């Protein structure tokens, strides 16, 4: 029976364009190498759009020391930033545009620090790097698009960043996955990118240029290639295409923002794909929390003649936070699917590789194959935010009765299953032909070594009750304040809540006004290091000097005056011992004052908006309040006063806040006091011993800071990508 076309431009996809060639690049090693070989052919333009892009990432990795991988036989470096600059040095007609998501500071320790100021992104005038923050609150730019001269393009789930490189073997303790010699070897990483050439690549180039225009305000022209050139020379000789001469659709998610119209093509496409499946639905996904997708799958499972559904997901997602939010949400959907599985047509699996010792394969791919008729590879996760909050881009094509395309689609699915099951793809094809059912084939090939294990449900009812509803953790569209009010505050409480919010806004506006007065008025000229030093020296001998100093700390906290400057002044005026003591007590009093203000401003509002579940979660997290405060004092993630306000509005206990602050302030205060005292001594007597002692203090501060930063980075690595990647 002939199947009606699934893909419909303007409904579930943006456009359908011709592809001269298509290749499925499975896992990061294949994508990194293919991108490098293709980008080497660029004549006019390379466009890179990503969720994360890191100039330090190595595109080629072998069993050799890092220093031996600096250059390859083509004379170009292996690190991304150096490689792109090398391309520009060889071709004075080439421009490279890199658009990276302007990430939330929550992700800072896992990303390239201050990329806008890195030499790799600023070394060449024709390398244009920009951070894109044009998106709603809580959203991100999640598209992964790479276009060379509008002739060849890549799209899928892989970014050119750290932690993505891996081979399809996913070997335990593979040293090539390590990003630096001093870092631990990350867990195996599985993902898929689609490579296309021809008009569909030009369409992706158009999409990328529109993203650039929205982010920067500057329009880019399509590359004008030399007369007689075509895309035939861009495809690497080593790479055999999986399919040729096929139409490919592009599906997008674009959130409604400012004058930008909302686009939900990915969501419409997924629902249409699921509805059209006849025999089987094969899914690889990082997350599974999308409510509409779950409902559509449950509906098919409840049908007497519905399709089999085989899902491959990570045993657990990457990071503590994700495991305690997204994994709990996905188990809620799993239970819904199991309840609808009246005919035993559902299987949930995770890859197993012997020797991982507690790790699991990080399944990061976003793949769906229905029957042998349609395949979708993209950036969109099966979570709600990918349906309407983040920017996404998927590539899709269908067979429409063409046996040649059906063969390529089936071969791709079999290739993925063969990787997970540790068998030859031909074995899967033979068994599918004989058995006729995908689940029977998988079950017959599961073994004791590399295999697919059934995904077990582990979340208890008590833990499930702690996580708020999906709309809070995983929203599917931007939410403004009025929507939050209507959603979470009872009608009879809305007017009191509005009054409280008005009070909050008024007090914060007053604080911002004081801060602005210090930053942009003559007050800044008066309240500076020199003025404070002179003022303090005048009352140094006075009996009230300590009390006045503590009062200055308290007032300075209310106007968000830099704490470091006050500490420096104290040490210069009172010496290292008393300066340290006054600074420590003053910082504590300032912290306690702004904590109390935060408590006044935020606690009732949090209770009204958060509900019972978030309240319970906060109380449980507050059991670690001392450690939390110590960490943010040692490694500050926001200004001192802002941290105090947030802590006061949370459920961290006042006692824990004071104890944590008292302990956490000590390392920084000691470092600043020692440095200030030694610097002043060196200025007064600039001899060799003074310089040597100052250098030793500086070295100790740098070493201590680096050690703490690395420790915190490792501690947070397991939760940094929890939200979107």
Task: Give the start-to-end residue ranges of the domains of the chain.
Answer: 15-223+240-247, 254-473, 487-684
Q: With contact defined as beta carbons under 8 Å apart, do 346 and 338 qualify?
A: yes
The predicted pLDDT at position 74 comes to 85
Q: What is the 3-state secondary structure (H, E, C) of 219-248?
A: CCCCCCCCCCCCHHHCCCCCCCCCEEEEEE
Query: CA–CA distance from 257 to each of 254, 476, 485, 577, 695 (Å)?
Result: 9, 14, 20, 54, 51
Residue with tokens 């947030």: 646
Global pTM reads: 0.70
388 close to 255: Cβ distance less than 8 angstroms: yes
Q: Which residues contact 117 (CB under 8 A, 6 or more apart)?
A: none
Q: Please tell me what DSSP assigns to residue 285.
A: -
Eight-state DSSP code of residue 581: H
Cβ–Cβ under 8 Å, residues 410 and 436: no
Token pair for residue 268?
A: 């419409």
Q: Is the fold of 15-223+240-247 the same as that of 254-473?
A: yes
- Distance, CA of 523 to CA of 608 (rounded, Å): 39
With a CB cutoff of 8 Å and minimum separation 6, the contacts of 226 are 43
SS3 308: strand
Length of the chain equals 725
Residue-wise pLDDT tens digits, 368-394 = 999 999 999 999 999 999 999 999 999
Residue 669 has a pLDDT of: 75
| pLDDT of 544 | 65
Collect all residues with Cβ–Cβ distance below 8 Å to 448 and sequence separation of at least 6. none
Q: What is the pLDDT of residue 614?
A: 37
Beta-bridge mates of residue 23: 195
Phi-psi region of 10 (alpha: psi -120 to 50; beta: other; left: phi over 0): left
Return the DSSP state at 152: E
The CATH number corresponding to 15-223+240-247 among 3.30.870.10, 3.40.50.11890, 3.20.20.70, 3.40.980.10 equals 3.30.870.10
Strand-pair category, 192-197 with 127-132: unpaired
DSSP 176: G
State which residues of the chain have pLDDT below 70: 1-2, 63-72, 103-111, 113-114, 116-118, 228, 319-321, 460, 462-472, 479-545, 557-562, 572, 598-647, 649-652, 675-725
Q: 392-398 and 374-378 as β-strands: parallel, antiparallel, unpaired?
A: antiparallel
What is the bridge-based pairing of β-strands 15-26 and 45-50? unpaired
Pick among 3.30.870.10, 1.10.10.10, 1.10.274.100, 3.40.50.300: CATH of 254-473:
3.30.870.10
Do 53 and 146 form a contact (C-beta atoms < 8 A)?
Answer: no
- Residues 270-326 have pLDDT tens digits of 999 999 999 999 999 999 999 999 999 999 999 999 999 999 999 988 766 677 778
Tokens 């949090």 belong to 606
With 0-12 / 13-18 / 19 or more C-beta atoms within 10 angstroms meaning exposed / middle / buried, residue 98 is buried
> Measured between alpha carbons, how far is 372 from 375 in angstroms, rounded to an integer?
8
């Amino acid at each position: 029976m002939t199947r009606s076309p699934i893909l419909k431009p303007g409904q579930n996809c943006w456009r359908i364009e011709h592809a001269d060639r298509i290749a499925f690049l499975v896992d990061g090693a294949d994508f990194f190498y293919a991108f490098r070989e293709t980008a080497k052919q660029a004549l006019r333009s390379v466009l890179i759009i990503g969720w994360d892009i890191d100039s330090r990432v190595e595109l080629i990795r072998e069993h050799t020391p890092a220093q031996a991988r600096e250059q390859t036989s083509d004379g170009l470096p292996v690190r991304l930033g150096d490689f792109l600059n090398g391309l520009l040095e060889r071709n004075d007609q080439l421009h490279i545009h890199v658009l990276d998501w302007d990430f939330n500071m929550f992700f800072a320790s896992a990303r390239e620090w201050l990329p806008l100021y890195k030499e790799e992104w600023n070394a060449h005038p024709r390398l244009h790097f920009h951070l894109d923050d044009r998106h709603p609150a809580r959203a991100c730019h999640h598209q992964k698009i790479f276009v060379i001269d509008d002739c060849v393009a890549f799209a899928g789930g892989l970014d050119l960043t750290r932690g993505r490189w891996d081979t399809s073997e996913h070997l335990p303790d593979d040293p090539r996955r390590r990003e630096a010699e001093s870092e631990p070897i990350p867990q195996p990483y599985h993902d898929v990118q689609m490579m296309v050439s021809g008009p569909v690549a030009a369409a992706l180039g158009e999409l990328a240029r529109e993203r650039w225009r929205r982010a920067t305000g500057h329009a880019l022209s399509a590359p004008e290639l030399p007369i007689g050139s075509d895309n035939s020379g861009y495809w690497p000789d080593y790479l055999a295409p999986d399919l040729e001469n096929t139409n490919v659709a592009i599906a997008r998610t674009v959130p409604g923002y400012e004058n930008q119209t909302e686009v939900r093509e990915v969501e419409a496409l997924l629902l249409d794909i699921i509805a059209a499946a006849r025999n089987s639905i094969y899914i690889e996904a990082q997350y599974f929390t999308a409510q509409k997708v779950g409902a559509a799958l449950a509906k098919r499972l409840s049908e007497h003649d519905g399709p089999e559904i085989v899902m491959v997901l990570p045993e657990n997602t990457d990071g503590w936070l994700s495991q305690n939010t997204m994994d709990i949400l996905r188990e809620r959907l799993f239970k819904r699917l199991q309840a609808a599985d009246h005919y035993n047509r559902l299987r949930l699996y995770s890859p197993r590789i012997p020797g991982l010792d507690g790790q699991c394969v990080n399944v990061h791919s976003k793949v769906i194959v229905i029957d042998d008729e349609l395949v979708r590879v993209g950036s969109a996760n099966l979570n709600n935010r990918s349906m309407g909050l983040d920017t996404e881009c998927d590539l899709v094509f269908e067979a429409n009765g063409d046996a040649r395309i059906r063969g390529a689609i089936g071969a791709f699915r079999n290739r993925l299953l063969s990787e997970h099951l540790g068998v030859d793809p031909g074995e899967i094809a033979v068994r599918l032909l004989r058995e006729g059912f995908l689940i029977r084939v998988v079950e017959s090939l599961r073994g004791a070594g590399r295999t697919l294990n059934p995904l077990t449900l582990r979340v208890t009812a008590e833990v499930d009750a702690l996580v708020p509803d999906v709309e809070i953790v995983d929203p599917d569209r931007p939410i403004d304040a009025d929507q939050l009010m209507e959603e979470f505050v009872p009608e009879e409480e809305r007017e009191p809540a509005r009054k409280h919010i008005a009070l909050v806004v008024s007090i914060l506006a007053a604080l911002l006004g004081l801060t602005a007065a210090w930053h942009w008025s003559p007050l800044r000229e008066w309240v500076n290091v020199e003025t404070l030093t002179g003022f303090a020296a005048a009352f140094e001998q006075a009996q009230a000097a300590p009390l006045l100093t503590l009062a200055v700390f308290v007032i300075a906290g209310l106007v968000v005056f830099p704490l470091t400057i006050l500490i420096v002044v104290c040490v210069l005026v009172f010496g290292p011992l008393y300066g340290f003591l006054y600074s420590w007590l003053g910082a504590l009093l300032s912290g306690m004052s702004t904590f109390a203000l935060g408590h006044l401003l935020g606690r009732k509002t949090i209770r009204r908006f958060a509900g019972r579940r978030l309240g319970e979660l906060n109380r449980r997290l507050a059991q670690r309040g001392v450690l939390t405060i110590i960490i943010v004092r040692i490694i500050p993630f926001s200004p001192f006063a802002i941290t105090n306000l947030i802590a006061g509005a949370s459920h961290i206990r006042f006692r824990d806040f004071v104890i944590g602050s008292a302990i956490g302030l000590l390392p920084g205060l000691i470092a600043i006091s020692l440095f200030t005292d030694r610097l002043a001594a060196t200025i007064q007597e600039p001899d060799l011993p003074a310089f040597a002692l100052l250098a030793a203090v500086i070295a100790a501060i740098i070493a201590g800071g680096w050690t703490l930063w690395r420790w915190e980075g490792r501690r947070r690595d397991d939760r940094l990508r929890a939200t979107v990647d």
